[in-house]
Amino acid sequence: MRNIPGIFTLVLSLYLMICHAQFALASIHTYPESSTQIMYRSQQSLRDISDRAWQAVLYKRIKSGKLETLRLRLVGFPGMIKLDNSQKLQVTTGNGKVWNPEDVLLDSSFPPNVGEYDFLEVMKGLDYDTPLRLNLSLQDSSKAEIVVPIFAVKEWRLLFDKVDFWE
């Protein structure tokens, strides 16, 4: 009988750690860039189905109170990943929605392991938190498929809806 409060506390602590741990893995960061411009950013460390590491950075810029850009930057491990920018990124949901966001780095000096995409239409089309599949073509003619888990999509939707212009 004396151990019941201790056991209850232990079980409750474990439950909270396990059930809420995934939401603590990432957060939305705010970067004031000037007196009229702010950037919100979410960064996720993800792996594709071939177990290669990727950084997925969703960011939006607000200028003078209006949305200027909403982009997804994907960064593969240097030397291992070379994106084929002639092929479009394909974004799919489990219920069949498909998008092919525009690659905004086609004529840039970014290294070949970096891709950046206009993600506004994708985020406008996400009505609820659902896993996404990002399919990319690589220069060696192979594919990379990255599964974006629900907790990351939830954070992305929060970033998309965020409108507190640090007033």
Q: Give the confidence band of 132 by pLDDT, cuts at 50, 70, 90.
A: very high
Give residue 100's domain range: 28-161
* Lowest mean pLDDT segment, chosen from 4-8, 37-41, 125-129: 4-8
3-state class (DSSP) for residue 13 = helix
Instruction: Please give the share of the chain, as a percent, with pLDDT higher than 70.
Output: 81
Half-sphere exposure of 115 (CA within 13 A, CB side): 28
**Residue 14 forms part of a structural domain:** no
**Residue 11 forms part of a structural domain:** no
Is 14's pLDDT higher than 70? no
**Residue 45 forms part of a structural domain:** yes
3-state class (DSSP) for residue 37 = strand
**Residue 17 forms part of a structural domain:** no
* 19/99: higher pLDDT: 99
**Residue 139 forms part of a structural domain:** yes
Mean of pLDDT values over 54-74: 95
Q: For the chain, how many structural domains are there in total? A: 1
Question: What is the model's pLDDT at position 167?
Answer: 41
3-state class (DSSP) for residue 3 = coil
- Location of structure tokens 């069949």: 96
**Residue 65 forms part of a structural domain:** yes
Question: What is the model's pLDDT at position 22?
Answer: 43
What is the rounded distance in angstroms from the CA atom of residue 152 to the CA atom of residue 146? Answer: 12
**Residue 36 forms part of a structural domain:** yes
**Residue 133 forms part of a structural domain:** yes
Closest CA to 29 of 41, 39, 37, 44: 41
Q: Give the confidence band of 23 by pLDDT, cuts at 50, 70, 90.
A: very low
Q: What is the mean pLDDT of the chain?
A: 86
What is the rounded distance in angstroms from the CA atom of residue 94 to the CA atom of residue 56? Answer: 20
pTM: 0.80
